[in-house]
Amino acid sequence: MLTIFKKIFTWWNRDTVGTRIKTIFFGKLVGKDDFGNKYYQSKSGKRWIIYFDEIEASKIPVEWFSWMHFMPNKIENNHELEKHSWQKPHQPNLTGTESAYYPNKIKKDAIQKKYKSWKK
């Protein structure tokens, strides 16, 4: 029951009721990425995404990002993109999380100041 209310009254919780209705009537599923996001396109050419989990634009892999912005890529033809052995898997923006990148000189727990305050 709580999930129904969350879906109706919160736009940040995956897709809204309006988006779901539009997807059912006008959307054609184009494909799915490794994160579970689903990509749709209407007959008029409009494209949209329904995120699997949290709505975060950095969770769109490069090949689907180019598809969303009408840039030519290999997904247009066969919906599969061959990845090379040297390519790393896509990661969303991890800034502000526990998995964020910290340089070697800066420790996570205590960031050291590189200056001295002139006030005492």
Closest CA to 37 of 69, 21, 14, 6: 14
What string of pLDDT tens digits covers the 120 residues of the chain? 666 776 666 666 667 778 888 889 999 999 998 889 999 999 999 999 998 887 888 888 888 888 888 887 665 555 556 677 888 887 888 888 888 877 765 554 455 566 666 766
CA distances from 16 to 12, 47, 55, 104, 115 (A): 8, 16, 12, 42, 49
Mean pLDDT of the chain: 77
Sheet with strand 47-50: strands edge to edge: 28-32, 38-41, 47-50
Tell me, what's the pLDDT at 43? 93
DSSP tag of 38: E
**pLDDT given at position 79:** 54
Q: Let me know: does 60 contact 68? Beta carbons within 8 Å.
A: yes
- What residue ranges do the domains of the chain occupy? 28-80
Angstrom distance (rounded) from CA 98 to CA 78: 37
Q: Please give the distance of CA 55 from its chain centroid, rounded to a whole number.
A: 6
